[in-house]
Structure 1
Amino acid sequence: MPGAVIIGVGPGIGQAVARRFAGEGLPIALIARSEQTLRAVAGAVAPSGVPAVTLKADATDQAELNAALDKAISEHGVPDVAVYNAALIQADAPGELSVRGHMEAWAVNVVGALNAAAHLAPAMAARGSGTFLITGGMPEPKPQYVSLSLGKAGVRTLVTLLDQQYGSSGVHVASVTVAGPVAPGTDFDPDDIAEHYWRLHTQPRHLWAHEALHAGRS
């Protein structure tokens, strides 16, 4: 049974999204760089009872990421939904970060999502259905977060490009923009944020949105 692939899982949004989709009965594939992180998130998903596979990969290593995605497909089939949640969040003002530093941030924040989509979306399109979601942020750019602001602007453009390429074939591409620091029990509780991912995934095609903004609890 096809399920959900979560790339860049962690203790915050990634884990909450994994639990949300698992709670609906979807098999889960978890991808992260750290074995410790994978074990922790797998443990959080376990009470749902759904099949779950953990896969170690760096989102900026295309061959490694593709191998993990291929393994996920071999386990559960072409996913119904893929979530790209990897991000490099750091404070850097204009001129502070080196060229290499900007390239590394861009690779995590944008190029990894592009590579994941390029690997998964064609098969979703061939099937005629699928959802590809990217965790966004920075609804307004901030000069104290230059690389992150650029990356999240890149995510919005990437969503548009992927929608142009695959949307007509039934692939819903969207981002979830989180406008504040994620922490349990706050206006930016990861469980509240995870609801946006489920709503986007289950939206009827004629109502597809391409960005959901979480600005705090309403």
Structure 2
Amino acid sequence: MAGRFAGRRVVVTGGGRGIGRAVALAFAAEGADVAVLARTKEQVDAVAAEMAPLGGRYVAVSCDVGDAEQVAAADRQVTEAFGGVDVLVNAAGVFTMGPSADFPADQVNELLTTNVAGTLRCCQVFGRHMLAAGAGKIVNFGSLLSFTAFPERAAYAASKAGVVQLTRVLGVEWAAAGVNVNGVAPGMIRIETPHPAALAEDDIVARIPAGRRGAPADITGPVLFLASADADYVNGQTIVVDGGWLSYGYL
């Protein structure tokens, strides 16, 4: 199938819904062979069914990125199907919130295990194919809370700030090996299971210079750019895709 990513082998974690699903389908529409990873079989099977008419190869893998054995098993399945990996998109993540003074330790551990350790683990496991080949693209997912703060989101914000710093370190460490590691930080995106809001919906929209919440499709373009040859000289950067929220000084 013709397309910018024809013949490219892409792994998308967190690809079962929301932004991850949109990213997986965007790569498939551009001719890529896509492995979709998500926690539940129902999610990955549904996305695989959407990719089937697009003509490329696809693999649906149930995988919790916080579990090292599951990530290793997913790598074996992807390698068997595609023979390697050219692009990795780390869209998997979890969100919980609560008062910082007594935020439960088990929830802190889940956030750090999935969002930070899981992202690093996938970079290591799938990135080894790229390092061996001397070429590849990795796109990690940060958040507005990588850079700014909302109340009662201490552990989540710390995890997403960690992803941005991880992206910087791998970006500079692996650049000489031909592997570009970058990230995107979505703003207020309208998805099917939104995070609890710190503001009323009208106040959220009023705070966004673009005048609307984003959609998953607003994130796919920046992701595909960072995964393309157009970004060969981009290393360790995180693009904030938020309609101008972070830059706006309005209170």
For normalisation by structure 2, the TM-score amounts to: 0.81
Superposition pairs of residues 66-215 of structure 1, within 5 angstroms? 66-137=72-143, 138=145, 139-183=147-191, 187-202=213-228, 203-208=230-235, 210-215=237-242
The structure number with the bigger radius of gyration is 2
Contact 1:188 1:217 in 2 (8 A): no
Relative to 1, partners in 2 of residues 1:41 and 1:15: Cα closer, same or farther, differing over 3 Å?
same
Of 18-27 and 71-80, more deviation after overlay is shown by: 71-80
How many angstroms apart in 2 are the aligned matches of 1:208 and 1:124?
15
2 CA distance for matches of 1:149 and 1:207?
A: 25
Q: Deviations over 1:172-191 (max 9, x none)?
A: 1111101213338x531101
Deviations 1:53-78 (A, max 9, x none): 11111111101111102211221122
Count residues in correspondence. 217
Report the secondary structure of 2:102's partner residue.
coil
TM-score (norm 1): 0.92
Aligned-residue RMSD, C-alpha = 1.9
Overall identity of the aligned pairs, in %: 27
Is 2:54 the partner of 1:28?
no
User: 5+ residue gaps in structure 2?
Assistant: 1-6, 193-211, 246-251
Does the Cα contact within 8 Å between 2:29 and 2:54 map onto a contact in 1? yes
Local SS of the residue matching 1:4: strand
Structure 1's unaligned 5+ residue stretches are none
Q: Which moved more, 1:73-82 or 1:175-184?
A: 175-184
Distance 1:59 1:121 in 2: 14
Residues 124 and 71 of structure 1, relative CA distance in 2, 3 Å threshold:
same
**Partner letter of residue 238 of structure 2?**
E
Q: Which moved more, 1:201-210 or 1:55-64?
A: 201-210
Distance between the aligned counterparts of 1:196 and 1:217, measured in 2?
15
Q: Deviations over 1:144-172 (max 9, x none)?
A: 21121011100011101212321211111
1: distance between equivalents of 2:123 and 2:220?
A: 20
